[in-house]
Chain A
Amino acid sequence: NAGVTQTPKFRILKIGQSMTLQCTQDMNHNYMYWYRQDPGMGLKLIYYSVGAGITDKGEVPNGYNVSRSTTEDFPLRLELAAPSQTSVYFCASSTNTDRGSEQFFGPGTRLTVL
């Protein structure tokens, strides 16, 4: 299993441009999440999904959109990039086992908006 994969690894955008951050998981997890990580601020939840066709806002959803057409894919869309969206973005998926729940993270996408 590849686990959670994200593309691209790095991206530089100009203000006002748009882009989609891709996230795919091959573990058949229903739950998926997008976080942003800013220095000294920890991880903040942007959006999450409990299954195909179902998404909901997290703590910091403004400026972002998501979709979940399949169990495997959970892309994050930035429509009008702003410097405040410069961050490292992590996608994660989750399952629950008899040992408790666990989130599995992708390697991250480092985005710079200039």
Chain B
Amino acid sequence: AQRVTQPEKLLSVFKGAPVELKCNYSYSGSPELFWYVQYSRQRLQLLLRHISRESIKGFTADLNKGETSFHLKKPFAQEEDSAMYYCALGGSNYKLTFGKGTLLTVNP
């Protein structure tokens, strides 16, 4: 069965500090992993996907198949990064299995 685990419900850092949001997955095949973000009063939107190996808004995420992890990282957090972050695992018919989310707060 597919499963996504985000161990931290809440994460609080100061502006300029590094941030890492953890995500571990369980999947028997070749995984397709995503990070979605929900800013206050906005709809959920794609932040990045592991296939494109891109950096969006300074965030990166590397798929580690050995550790079954897809942690989201940013070297210098900004106040506008405060949001709810969801790690998601893709399945058949482009369905997504979401983790429970991590609420990131970046303090000034």
Interface, chain A (partner B; CB < 8 A): 31, 33, 35, 40-45, 48, 50, 56, 58, 90, 92, 94, 96, 99-108
Contact = CB atoms under 8 A, between A and B. Distances in A.
Contacts of A106: 43
A114 B96 CA distance: 30
A48 B93 contact: yes
Contacts of B46: 102-103
B39 to A, nearest CB: 12
B52 interface: yes
Interface string B43-57: 111100101100000
Contact of A103 (B6, B9, B94, B101): B94
Interface of B: 4, 6, 9, 32, 36, 43-46, 49, 51-52, 86, 90, 93-101
Contact of B101 (A35, A42, A50, A99): A42
26 contacts: A31-B94, A33-B95, A40-B100, A40-B101, A42-B86, A42-B98, A43-B44, A43-B86, A45-B95, A45-B96, A48-B93, A56-B93, A90-B43, A90-B44, A94-B94, A96-B94, A100-B49, A101-B32, A101-B49, A101-B94, A102-B46, A103-B94, A103-B96, A105-B44, A105-B45, A107-B43
Contacts of A58: 95
A92 B4 CA distance: 19
A108 B95 CA distance: 18
Contacts of A41: 100
Given A35-B98, A45-B96, A101-B94, 13 more contacts: A33-B96, A40-B9, A40-B100, A43-B44, A48-B95, A56-B93, A90-B43, A100-B51, A101-B49, A103-B46, A105-B43, A105-B45, A107-B43
B100 A42 contact: yes
Contacts of A105: 43-45
